[in-house]
Amino acid sequence: MKNCPPKGFLLIVLGFLSATALAAGCSATKVVPNPMVSHVHKVAVMPFVDMVAIYGENASIRNSISGKVFITGTVAQNASQELTDQLIAMLENRFSYELISPGQMMGVRSELIAQSSIEIPEIRLITSAGKKLGADTVLIGHIYNYRERAGSPYAIESPASVTFDLMMIDTANERLIWSDEFQETQRSLGENLLLLGKFIRRKGRWISAAEMASGGLKEMLDRLHRLQTAQEEAPKR
């Protein structure tokens, strides 16, 4: 995919954040009990939504798509851009999807709003935009906490802390076919010996929020890839 999100697109994103979040109190999108992702070939990527920019800190939020509840923390200024860039790079490197950029999706979404005389639910807006661009599914995520560490990699005042989710919605029926989430506040090995594996992988360092988010996103997409591979290989067994 050549169309990467422009550096200033976060300003555009803020224009649709309220529409996404205001639906948080409504019923959650229908979830397919046994999701099939093996049919996915063309994916429209939406920018990550900064939920703290809408609700503020220490707010309890029920996600309008998954129905799950999250508590907001703090979100660094460029978190949405950074996480969206990482998502696109990982999708390009790991999957054979044809990707539709956030810029394209936001443009078509704006057109749909301009053409309608009534308010359109956000879930319908993004799936309609994806469908118009020929996508099988839409990927959208929400950031609830993205707190940078205070201190150096080896002398910390407070650790990095990250919470976000990622969802895949079928454009044909507006149903959630896959979702995952990541939540971590880095702990010292002394606080939890079960973290030895992560401690070794991180070389005993206190990592940045960007490193933590990148690792979490990779874990989520690894699980999606395994699910898709298993479904594709199932008929061959």
pLDDT tens digits along 30-84: 445 556 888 899 999 999 999 999 999 999 999 988 889 999 999 988 999 999 9
pLDDT tens digits along 159-205: 788 999 999 999 999 999 999 999 988 665 445 444 545 645 655 56
Q: Are 140 and 126 in contact (CB under 8 A)?
A: yes
Q: What is the CATH number of domain 9-229?
A: 3.40.50.10610
pTM of the complete model: 0.78
Closest-CA residue to 184 (of 203, 211, 155, 221): 211
- Residue ranges per domain, the chain? 9-229
Q: Are 123 and 169 in contact (CB under 8 A)?
A: yes
120 burial level (CB within 10 Å; 0-12, 13-18, 19+): middle
